[in-house]
């Protein structure tokens, strides 16, 4: 007789539950799951309270209470609430939850108290330190009892000591950070209403019935209406230019694009919806205080840069699941142009991972077809918003024009103030020159002196260029009417002749013309060139014949005459 061996599969339920619970790594995911469950229970009002109770607590003074007026749960549904993979919503249309994984996030709390009322009765179910049990290899226990009805149909979930032993709960669970999460990553922040025509009053009504009230520590209670927040459209180019004459018109540009029930491919009946807003930076900051460089920013821990939040999101049930900015190619005119995009792609065929952290479609071909469809939509949007003479290209140009104009006005003011501070010199022909502050102004003084006192220099300028190479070619013999090659020599201009950073080789120079010579050189410091050679060190000497730079290694080389304009100009003024 052949002995049979039992190889039937088994499931380590403790391990699986623990792994899935630990996959939820973000504290705010509790709000995503709670809100989704409340929507599935047809709740019209959801209340979220976060507070500390010093007197009445079982495991921790930090509490999160989430209450809704939905359908409530019966004993069988309560059992599913605590279980894995037993969701009654599986394969049912119109429900968000289906895997039976989401409620495991509540196990992150030390103490969980669920009170629920349905048409079948009222019940309380309590679980204490579930993660402690799981970490010890045991399945957590729950205690459920029937209670007296304290409120109409609905569910209240009280969590104590949620999400570890952090000491900074007040900073972590701030009002603005939670609101931001609700608007971006929960069912209550759905973009569905953006797909409804404004004149479709019946459809619009369904999106105005559910509200969330949020009370966080000592902050005043706030009411959060349904729907993701987008800015008001503002894409009239001439109106924008007129309203924002400071050049920021482009930053206030907003235009909406959307589509419903778009077929992904001809092979399958899968469809998707999309809403894409093209928004300027200023438009984003008007409604989003969480942007880190926003003057309205009122939090720091959960603030973010535009590049870290905006772009394209893939969604299921109109809840953003994962950002897919790699789908954005060749969009806009800069490296971070995807920051203009505030967009969502919803496909009900997406399959979610256990912690709802990413999406996929089992058929890779369909996923690739969807990607191509989205890229085609973005290409069409780009053609429209950058339409020649009508779109953002005009505002980009206008911004540059205003920037240039403002810069010119600023430069005019700055230079006007600077010139008032400069020392003035009046030459004998009445010419006024100002103390120079740079090399070009030094050249202009040399030019003025050359005109008024042509005998002051033993050469005449023949060619000047400040673009490349050494500045000027001069002719030593001024009596020649025709230029002779052997009489041409190099002259270089410097505002102040210093000891470091000379960007030419000295051996090719005959003259250095400067406003003044640095005192360090006069006191013996060597004047070095950036060019490395055996002849790159020169010292300053004053002789009866004039001022020179003399090569240290080869003093027999011809010296470079240094013409210092400041003492020359001051001497001319004395004579006059």
Q: Which residue has the higher pLDDT, 98 or 567?
A: 567
CB 272 within 8 A of CB 381: no
Average model confidence (pLDDT) across the chain: 84
Q: What is the CATH number of domain 237-394?
A: 3.30.230
CB 173 within 8 A of CB 52: no
Token couple for 231: 């800015």
> CATH 3.30.565.10 spans which residues of the chain?
13-225
For residue 94, give the 3-state DSSP assignment: coil
Q: What would the pLDDT profile of 140-190 be if each residue is shown by its tens digit?
A: 899 999 999 877 899 999 999 887 655 577 778 999 999 999 999 999 999
What integer is the mean pLDDT of 504-533?
Answer: 84
CB 155 within 8 A of CB 72: yes
User: Which pLDDT does position 72 carry in this prediction?
Assistant: 95
User: Which pLDDT does position 419 carry in this prediction?
Assistant: 82
Token couple for 345: 């792609």
CB 538 within 8 A of CB 526: yes
For residue 272, what are the contacts with CB-CB under 8 A and spacing of at least 6? Answer: 262, 264, 345, 346, 347, 370, 373
Residue 397 sits at φ, ψ, to 5 deg, of -65, -40
* pLDDT at residue 395 tops 80: no
User: Which pLDDT does position 87 carry in this prediction?
Assistant: 55
> CATH 3.30.230 spans which residues of the chain?
237-394
CB 175 within 8 A of CB 219: yes
User: Which pLDDT does position 90 carry in this prediction?
Assistant: 43
Q: 386: closest CA among 337, 452, 433? A: 337
Q: Which helix (H) or strand (E) holds 362?
A: none
User: Which pLDDT does position 398 carry in this prediction?
Assistant: 43
Can you tell me the distance from the alpha carbon of 155 to that of 114, in angstroms, rounded to the nearest whole number?
A: 7
Q: What would the pLDDT profile of 220-242 be if each residue is shown by its tens digit?
A: 999 999 999 999 999 888 888 88
CB 79 within 8 A of CB 30: no
* pLDDT at residue 514 tops 80: yes
For residue 161, what are the contacts with CB-CB under 8 A and spacing of at least 6? Answer: 59, 60, 62, 109, 110, 111
What integer is the mean pLDDT of 116-125?
Answer: 94
Look up the pTM and report it: 0.68
Can you tell me the distance from the alpha carbon of 355 to that of 194, in angstroms, rounded to the nearest whole number?
A: 27
Max CA pair span of the chain: 132
Can you tell me the distance from the alpha carbon of 559 to that of 555, in angstroms, rounded to the nearest whole number?
A: 8
User: Which pLDDT does position 228 carry in this prediction?
Assistant: 96
For residue 483, give the 3-state DSSP assignment: coil
| Helix pair 175-185, 29-40: axis angle to 10 deg | 50
Give the least confident one: 50-54, 341-345, 391-395, 495-499: 391-395
What integer is the mean pLDDT of 270-297?
Answer: 89
What integer is the mean pLDDT of 236-254?
Answer: 85
Residues 444-475: b if buried by 16+ CB within 10 A, e if exposed: ebbebbeebbeeebebebeeeeeeeebbbbbb
Q: What would the pLDDT profile of 189-199 be if each residue is shown by its tens digit?
A: 999 999 987 65
Q: What would the pLDDT profile of 347-383 be if each residue is shown by its tens digit?
A: 998 887 655 667 777 778 888 999 999 999 998 988 8
Give the least confident one: 33-42, 164-173, 312-321, 520-529: 164-173
pLDDT band at 486 (very low <50, low <70, confident <90, very high): low
Fold of 13-225: Heat Shock Protein 90 (3.30.565)
Give the least confident one: 16-30, 47-61, 194-208: 194-208
């Amino acid at each position: 007789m052949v002995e049979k061996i039992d190889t039937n599969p088994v499931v380590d339920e403790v391990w699986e539950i623990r792994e899935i619970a630990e996959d939820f790594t973000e504290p705010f995911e509790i709000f995503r799951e709670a809100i989704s469950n409340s929507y599935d229970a047809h709740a019209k009002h959801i209340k979220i309270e976060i507070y500390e109770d010093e007197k009445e607590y079982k495991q921790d003074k930090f509490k999160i209470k989430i209450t809704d007026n939905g359908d409530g749960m019966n004993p069988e549904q309560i059992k599913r609430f605590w279980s894995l993979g037993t969701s009654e919503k599986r394969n049912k249309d119109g429900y968000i939850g289906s895997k039976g994984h989401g409620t495991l996030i509540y196990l992150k709390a030390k103490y969980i108290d669920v009170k629920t009322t349905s048409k079948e009765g009222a019940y309380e179910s309590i679980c204490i330190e579930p993660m402690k049990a799981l970490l010890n290899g045991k399945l957590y226990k729950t205690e459920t009892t029937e209670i007296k009805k304290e409120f109409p149909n609905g569910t209240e979930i009280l969590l104590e000591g949620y999400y570890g032993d952090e000491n900074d709960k007040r900073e972590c669970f701030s009002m603005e950070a939670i609101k931001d999460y609700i608007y971006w990553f929960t069912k209550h922040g759905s973009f569905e209403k953006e797909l409804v025509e404004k004149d479709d009053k019946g459809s619009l009504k369904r999106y105005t019935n559910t509200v969330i009230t949020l009370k966080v520590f000592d902050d005043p209670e706030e009411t959060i209406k349904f729907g993701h927040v987008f800015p008001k459209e503002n894409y009239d180019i001439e109106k924008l230019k007129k309203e924002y004459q400071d050049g920021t018109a482009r930053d206030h540009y907003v235009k909406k694009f959307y589509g419903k029930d778009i077929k992904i491919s001809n092979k399958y009946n899968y469809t998707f919806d999309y809403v894409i807003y093209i928004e300027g930076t200023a438009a984003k900051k008007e409604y989003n205080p969480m942007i880190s460089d926003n003057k309205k920013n009122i939090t720091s821990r959960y603030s973010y840069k535009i590049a870290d939040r905006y772009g394209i999101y893939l969604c299921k049930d109109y809840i953003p699941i994962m950002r897919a900015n790699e789908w954005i190619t060749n969009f806009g005119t800069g490296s971070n142009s995807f920051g203009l995009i505030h967009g969502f792609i919803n496909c009900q065929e997406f399959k979610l991972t256990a912690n709802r952290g990413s999406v996929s479609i089992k058929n890779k071909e369909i996923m690739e077809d969807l990607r191509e469809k989205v890229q085609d939509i973005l290409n069409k949007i780009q053609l429209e918003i950058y339409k020649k003479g009508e779109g953002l290209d005009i505002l980009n140009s206008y911004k540059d024009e205003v920037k240039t104009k403002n810069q010119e006005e600023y430069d005019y003011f700055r230079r006007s103030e600077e010139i008032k501070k400069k020392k003035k010199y009046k030459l004998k022909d009445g010419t006024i020159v100002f103390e120079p502050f740079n090399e070009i102004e030094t050249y202009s003084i040399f030019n003025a002196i050359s005109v008024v006192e042509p005998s002051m220099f033993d050469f005449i300028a023949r060619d000047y260029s400040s673009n490349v190479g050494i500045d000027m070619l001069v002719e030593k013999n001024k009596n020649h009417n025709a230029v002779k090659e052997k009489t041409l020599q190099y002259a270089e201009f410097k505002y102040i002749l210093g000891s470091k950073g000379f960007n030419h080789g000295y051996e090719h120079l005959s003259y250095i013309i400067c406003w003044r010579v640095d005192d360090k050189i006069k006191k013996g410091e060597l004047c070095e060139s950036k060019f490395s050679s055996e002849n790159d060190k020169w010292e300053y000497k004053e002789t009866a014949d004039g001022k020179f730079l003399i090569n240290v290694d080869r003093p027999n080389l011809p010296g470079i005459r240094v013409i210092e304009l400041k003492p020359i100009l001051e001497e001319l003024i004395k004579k006059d």
